[in-house]
Structure 1
């Protein structure tokens, strides 16, 4: 069994922290805007700076960082499998308990804190990921590509068979869509921004159920990125950056250029794309760009000056489970009625500044936490579930374990 180097562990933790920043930059909008309003594509804010901020977020951030998180989830599965085998433990029992606990946390998060929970979906897809644990790297790669491409291929095929398929996403005029979106925004602002805890809970449960159905279309993509991360781990691409530098650089150049073009097309096409065009941008462009981000981050991490900066992402990354849920708690305190009640009152530019501020505080908080304790608080609880007690082995300082214990 290959000994894992400290620099490699820092890279994975830093990548996870980097993904957390991108995730809150996207998620914060869902804390202050109705889910239905977002679904109808209604822009509530005017001003060139808000339009520019939303455009850049759509091109560079939306949908990419949750895929990095998904990639790292699959990567971590292989690491935990190797660690369990090296210690003579049953991986299946450990991972089953781990996913069951994650599912429980996700349900509690979605029902009582924020409806946009991703942990529930990761847990469900994680059970399917277990079916691939004994596959060879090449098999994992093939299945990853199939799952990542299945939705755009099916959509394109349906579009070719039916001339009306491309119009399926536009059953109403933009004026009607805006009117409906504004209605839902005002309704949700009255509930989340001014309502009682009971009213918010009922609406949150309804939105949670709705978001689960919305995510079903993305399940193949999530599982596909899980398998891509597992493939990278089995092939040791991120274990030995210098040895794989040429391949990673090709991934950055090809994935980054193609992915960026597809994201530019979907973001700059004002009148909308046909169904198959949107599917290609969402299900091909976003994963390519996410992989390019991973490769770029890994290459930059090999330089001393860049590493000093990027290393700060490792602190929130080591306790990503805690920080992900903490982001929801803090956003609830800012935007919901039991806190400041700023729901629907903060424009996109300020939303993003608040998100960056929250993440900066988390980075400092995490850095201070690890000066005193070796593992994050919710990571500790998660390990209690996973290992039936004994959350920290004697002599373990949390550094090596952090790779395995973040969602």
Structure 2
């Protein structure tokens, strides 16, 4: 039993580290490209290798690994709840303090380090997750599926209703969108890449506010994945390979991948088609990733390989913040000022190098201390300064 429990924990740690790597691959473009330029979909780089990488990232990476983190956040809540009850502690006060600390970290991160912070959103939605803490697995599943489907259903309905309106809004042409994207890229490069720290703070605050409101449409999806993770944990689905895991791989992989291919490869999709591809395809493909990872992890040879992700996974909070700090030093004017100068293909290589260093750093750190530095601060606030016993690992830490 102890061996199975340990294997489950290392699986979650490894999956968390794997998700952290995928998120970094998706996030790095936001450190060197204007938020508005990305919104307009302007292509700034030529070269077949960049096109192939961006196509691959759009289909396989973008949005999926953040949803794995969302899944693990809900999974982690149940683990923490079970651990607290086993130790005779009241779960709700502990979790509330944990979320408040996460919210404070997120605001500081978003304003002073990087506007694309996700911690703030996780903290806010974490309070909603508390409402479901006593729900049975079946109830969690129903709410999860409902939340995951509500946005595509509403957008599809709105699209069908608006299609009868003869005064439809005329979207920007591709040329105009590209021109606007180039304009914002040049403006932001002058600020982030060459401006003063005060100018960067002002622009980052504006981008943080814009990014915050842009994320609101994804709140049902994120909360839905929270609840899916909680459901998986209560049902012990990842404890061993089951029929449901294989179904997730087959159904989620085939349908999810097909929808992502449609969204990325087919131009001129109606808005309802894009909504279905984005809000249904991404979660389905995400669940397939989780299932594949769990199945492969059962094989000893592969487990030895995937185990390297467990080191940054155990320090995911610290490594997530370090990625932002390092990218700020690389791309912003108070560092090397590489903003807007690194092609996507080299961004990928940079991510691989930095993440490899984080694996080494995390392994060395964890040999000496049981928690990462930011995890330790987070735990001090969560438990009102209770010290961490030497050699004790926190296996139920939440993901960001």
Q: Distance in 1 between matches of 2:319 and 2:27?
A: 13
Which residue does 2:116 correspond to in 1? Answer: 116
Residue by residue, what CA displacement relative to the aligned partner does 1:231-290 show, whole Å, maximum 9, x if unpaired? 000000012x14x2x220111011000000000001111x33111111111100000000
Q: Distance in 2 between matches of 1:286 and 1:265?
A: 12
Which residue does 1:260 correspond to in 2? Answer: 257
Which residue does 1:403 correspond to in 2? Answer: 396
Residue 53 of structure 2: SS of its match in structure 1?
A: helix
- Give the 5 Å matches for 1:9-48: 9-48=9-48
Do the aligned partners of residues 153 and 15 (structure 1) sit closer, same or farther apart at CA in structure 2, a change above 3 Å counting?
same
Equivalent residues, number: 400
Unaligned 5+ segments in structure 1 are: none
Which residue does 2:199 correspond to in 1? Answer: 199
Unaligned 5+ segments in structure 2 are: none
Cα shift at 1:403: 2.8
- Give the 5 Å matches for 1:1-400: 5-163=5-163, 171-239=171-239, 241-242=240-241, 244=242, 246-269=243-266, 271-392=267-388, 394=389, 397-398=392-393
Q: Distance in 2 between matches of 1:180 and 1:357?
A: 33
Do the aligned partners of residues 231 and 165 (structure 1) sit closer, same or farther apart at CA in structure 2, a change above 3 Å counting?
farther
Q: Is the 8 A contact 1:12 1:403 kept in 2?
A: no
Do the aligned partners of residues 201 and 225 (structure 1) sit closer, same or farther apart at CA in structure 2, a change above 3 Å counting?
same
Residue by residue, what CA displacement relative to the aligned partner does 1:51-86 show, whole Å, maximum 9, x if unpaired? 000000000000000000000000000000011111
Between 368-377 and 206-215, the greater mean CA deviation after superposition: 368-377
Residue by residue, what CA displacement relative to the aligned partner does 1:211-248 show, whole Å, maximum 9, x if unpaired? 00000000000000000000000000012x14x2x220
RMSD: 1.7
Do the aligned partners of residues 199 and 227 (structure 1) sit closer, same or farther apart at CA in structure 2, a change above 3 Å counting?
same
Q: Distance in 1 between matches of 2:168 and 2:117?
A: 28
Do the aligned partners of residues 375 and 248 (structure 1) sit closer, same or farther apart at CA in structure 2, a change above 3 Å counting?
same
Q: Distance in 1 between matches of 2:168 and 2:332?
A: 35
Q: Is the 8 A contact 1:78 1:133 kept in 2?
A: yes
Q: Is the 8 A contact 1:33 1:344 kept in 2?
A: yes
Q: Distance in 1 between matches of 2:169 and 2:3?
A: 51
Q: Distance in 2 between matches of 1:354 and 1:165?
A: 48
Residue by residue, what CA displacement relative to the aligned partner does 1:300-345 show, whole Å, maximum 9, x if unpaired? 0000110011000000000000000000001111111111111000
Cα shift at 1:157: 1.1
Cα shift at 1:162: 2.2
Cα shift at 1:172: 1.4
The TM-score with structure 2 as length reference comes to 0.97
Q: Distance in 2 between matches of 1:267 and 1:168?
A: 24
Q: Distance in 1 between matches of 2:34 and 2:300?
A: 44
The TM-score with structure 1 as length reference comes to 0.96
Do the aligned partners of residues 87 and 352 (structure 1) sit closer, same or farther apart at CA in structure 2, a change above 3 Å counting?
same
Q: Distance in 2 between matches of 1:19 and 1:405?
A: 13
Do the aligned partners of residues 135 and 276 (structure 1) sit closer, same or farther apart at CA in structure 2, a change above 3 Å counting?
same
Q: Distance in 1 between matches of 2:170 and 2:236?
A: 45
